[in-house]
């Protein structure tokens, strides 16, 4: 019988290793402690909350070896942990994850799951997820509103191949229709009664200066999914210029803009917006009504 290791002791040990390595967090875990819990939970095959209920149990040498290997790879490569594990969680829902798309972390997910966007979605409504990446926001919308028809688009065929795996995983290939193309260009011409009630989008919005100074973990992600040009607004300008054509008259556009609120206000001073509060604050996600576009 080989040695066994207390989960609580191991959690502390892994946390210390990650902390000492000077890593950057923010790809599904906010700090070394939560990332350590994620690693241990994955090795056990438990959701993280179940691991918290089992901290007094012991694990085998084999499991400890797997945990050590993941920790060493994380420290050595500075890859986001989700890429190393092949999976990310968003609002408690698991998604296949690799470097074909950014790690899902949009704050729009909170608004979907908490029901804050349902005011804009009538029964049997239509929602579009622009820049869907691995499909996580489209999937959360479909799971939260089973009567809604969801469309999802992305420029990257690689990202959409990953999204297809996630649609299969969650049995949503009927409810979610996927289009490949540059923003709205892939959407067929819509008659008035076919237009979307809600468009959600976590676009590339990081400005050039910030892009140049991002930690190594972010440079492991596809640059096309992050870079938004000089002021971060290049893609957002195109979205705002064309969204009205695809929105119902009483529809709305929800955009995540991260830390670019001041650049957004400079670029679009004439557009009335409603800021939607999320866990990161009240200047990360905004809503524009169709009539104001």
> What pTM was estimated for this model as a whole?
0.93
Q: Walk along the chain (293 residues) in steps of 10 and give the mean pLDDT of each run.
A: 75 96 93 95 86 83 94 97 95 95 96 96 96 98 97 97 98 97 90 92 94 94 93 96 96 96 96 96 96 96
Residues 126 and 211 in one domain: yes
90 domain-assigned = no
CB 107 within 8 A of CB 140: no
**17-43: string of b/e by CB count within 10 Å (b at 16+)?**
bbeeeebebebbbeebbebbbbbbbbb
Looking up tokens 């009539």 gives 291
Any idea what the CATH number is for the domain that residue 34 is in?
Answer: 1.10.8.10
What stretch of H or E contains 198?
strand 196-201
User: End-to-end alpha-carbon separation of the chain, Å?
Assistant: 68
Residues 75 and 134 in one domain: no
What is the structure's pLDDT at 189?
81
Residues 167 and 255 in one domain: yes
What is the structure's pLDDT at 48?
79
Distance from C-alpha of 237 to C-alpha of 240, rounded to nearest angstrom? 5
Residues 62 and 183 in one domain: no
Residues 253 and 135 in one domain: yes
What is the structure's pLDDT at 2?
52
What is the structure's pLDDT at 188?
84
94 domain-assigned = no
Domain range for 201: 99-292
Structure tokens at 208: 């050039």
Please count the structural domains in the chain.
2
Choose one of 21, 55, 85: the last residue of a domain.
85
209 domain-assigned = yes
**Whats the size of the chain, residue-wise?**
293
Choose one of 31, 51, 85: the last residue of a domain.
85
CA 224, 228, 234, 236 dihedral sign is positive
Residues 203 and 266 in one domain: yes
What is the structure's pLDDT at 193?
83
């Amino acid at each position: 019988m080989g040695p066994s290791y207390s989960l609580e002791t191991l959690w502390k040990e892994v946390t210390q290793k990650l902390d000492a390595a000077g890593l950057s967090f923010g790809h599904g875990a906010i700090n070394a402690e939560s990332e350590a819990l994620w690693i241990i939970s994955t090795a056990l095959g438990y959701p993280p909350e179940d691991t918290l209920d089992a901290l007094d149990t012991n694990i085998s040498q084999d499991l400890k070896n797997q945990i050590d290997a993941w920790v060493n790879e994380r420290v050595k490569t500075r890859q986001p942990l989700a890429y190393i594990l092949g999976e990310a969680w968003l609002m408690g829902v698991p998604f296949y994850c690799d470097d074909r798309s950014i790690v899902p972390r949009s704050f729009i997910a909170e608004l979907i799951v908490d029901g804050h966007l349902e005011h804009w979605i009538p029964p049997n409504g239509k929602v579009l997820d622009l820049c869907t990446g691995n499909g996580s926001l489209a999937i959360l919308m479909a799971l939260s509103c089973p009567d809604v028809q969801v469309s999802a688009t992305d420029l990257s065929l690689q990202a959409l191949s990953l999204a297809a795996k996630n649609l299969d995983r969650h049995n949503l290939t009927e409810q979610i229709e996927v289009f490949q193309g540059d923003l709205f260009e892939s959407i067929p011409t819509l008659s008035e009664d076919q237009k979307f009630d809600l468009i959600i989008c976590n676009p590339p919005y990081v400005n050039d200066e910030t892009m140049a100074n991002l930690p190594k973990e972010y440079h492991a992600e596809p640059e096309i999914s992050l870079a938004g040009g000089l002021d971060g607004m290049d893609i957002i300008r195109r979205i705002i210029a064309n969204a009205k054509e695809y929105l119902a008259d009483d529809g709305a556009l929800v955009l995540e803009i991260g830390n670019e609120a001041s650049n957004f206000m400079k670029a679009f001073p004439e557009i009335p917006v409603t800021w939607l509060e999320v866990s990161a604050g009240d200047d990360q996600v905004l809503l524009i009504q169709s009539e104001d576009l």
